[in-house]
Amino acid sequence: MSHLKTYVERLNAWNKITKQPKLTINSPADREKIRNRLECDLSPENLCCDGELTGRALRLKAEYLNGAIAELNARS
């Protein structure tokens, strides 16, 4: 499964709980919302959970999020 597909599925699971609309990578407006969320998740304080995440776990999280944004950029 692609990083982007997994990321959007996780966003939509959270959106369902919070009663927000479902996002799709086929909509330009939704792609922009997804891009904004990814950029936020990639900020240093969010990426490393305010310093709580280090080592392998941090590298895997960064790889996953960077993979998702790269796949999103390839679609735009």
Q: How confident is the model at residue 1 (pLDDT cuts 50, 70, 90)?
A: low
Specify the number of domains making up the chain.
Answer: 1
Position 76 scores a pLDDT of: 72
Domain span including residue 31 = 3-75
- Across the range 44-54, mean pLDDT stands at 95
Give CA–CA dist 32/26, Å, rounded: 11
> What is the amino acid identity at position 17?
I
Q: Is 17 exposed, middle or buried (0-12, 13-18, 19+ CB in 10 A)?
A: exposed
* Amino acid in the structure at residue 49: C
Q: Which residues contact 66 (CB under 8 A, 6 or more apart)?
A: 42
Residue that is written with structure tokens 């679609």 in the block = 75
Residue 70 pLDDT exceeds 90: yes
